[in-house]
Amino acid sequence: MITKIIKLKKENDSILKELGEELKNGKLIVFPTETVYGIGANSLNKDAVSNIFKAKGRSSDNPLIVHISSIDMLKDIVQEIGDIEKKLIQAFWPGPLTIIMKKKDIIPDNVSSGLNTIGVRMPNNNVARKLIEYANVPIAAPSANKSGKPSGTLIEDIRQELDGKVHYIIDTGNSDIGIESTVVRVTDGKVRVLRPGKITLEQIKEKIGAVEVDEYVLKPYKSGEKVLSPGVKYKHYAPEAQCILVYSKDNKKLIDKVNELSAENSKVLVLGSTNNLDKYNSKYKLDIGNTLEEIAHNIFKRLRQVDEYDANLVIIEGVENKGLGLAIMNRLIRACGYRYIEV
């Protein structure tokens, strides 16, 4: 398969119309969203969806998110839109929020990994929505990367991993947000956050009211347990090197612990915040930013750079589990294989 790179500075109707037709007819297309890039296929075409799993090396029991461009498209694929789901849609769509709902039979079982539910979102990206609109079918799309690796936010990384495995890559530059969407499900009148993202627990609580965080957001799934959300079960975001996540509310304790671990190991790489970086004794360091928004935007890019250093240990500075920090910690703790120290 030859992968064609299509560079777009903004939405181009004639090009997106052609690509929409290609996607509808079963081709795989990497496309931008406001969160990360996705590998898209016609979600109504079972064979096209199967090719996503092959391209990524993704396990078949890891469901995909379905992307739509209109509420009419949503009504075609889910059984019912409840009152709380309607409030979530009104508050956060288009945007980085995925809502789990009961699917109609029109959606093949391989999209949902055999579950009777699917995650659906309407991306806040004009190129993505135009592509879906012209395809006139909902697009099933996980993040554009090999399974287990950091999600695709830079075209160079995506091309390196997926060249020859997809038909087209639409290049619009770096992703805006840098981490995937928040995934929620409404149960017993409450919104449950299954995967945190840019839309925070606090924002949902402000708009909707009752909200809770799933127990598996910061701990691994038990063996054999069925997942309720895409992208939460398997090792993810992980470099080849051994990583450990360190956090403390006391910044001095945090720095001391990182330096202690650095002294105990040879060839250590530290991923730290801008303000702390010069306080770490390790020879090798990568700046992840200062604000939560900067860290969210940079983290996958930095995780992809880690293995260039051939480090024996990678120490990653954590953040507080509040607001966008919960999403960052969810990604980092999984990248570290749940090796976590709080001091």
pLDDT at position 152 is 85
Q: What is the DSSP pairing of strand 97-102 with strand 117-121?
A: antiparallel
Contact present, 280 and 263 (Cβ < 8 Å): no
Query: What sign does the dihedral 69-70-71-76 (CA atoms) show?
Result: negative
**pLDDT band, very low/low/confident/very high, at 150 (cuts 50, 70, 90):** confident
Find all residues with CB under 8 Å of 60, minimum gap 6, and list them.
53, 110, 113
pLDDT at position 340 is 96
Torsion angle in degrees (nearest 10) through CA of 176, 51, 66, 333? -60
The answer, as to whether pTM is greater than 0.85, is yes
| Residue corresponding to tokens 């697009």 | 139
* Rounded CA separation 45/325 (Å): 37
- Please tell me whether residue 27 adopts helix, strand or coil conformation: coil
* ∠ CA 311-340-243, rounded to 5°: 15
pLDDT at position 98 is 98
| Residue corresponding to tokens 């939405």 | 11
* Rounded CA separation 119/39 (Å): 15
Domains and CATH numbers, the chain: 4-217 (3.90.870.10), 243-342 (3.40.50.11030)
pLDDT at position 44 is 98
* Rounded CA separation 250/229 (Å): 34
Task: Read off the pLDDT of each residue in 176-197 and give the average, rounded to a whole number.
Answer: 95
Task: Read off the pLDDT of each residue in 201-221 and give the average, rounded to a whole number.
Answer: 92
* Per-residue model confidence as pLDDT tens digits over 55-87: 999 988 899 999 999 999 999 999 999 999 999
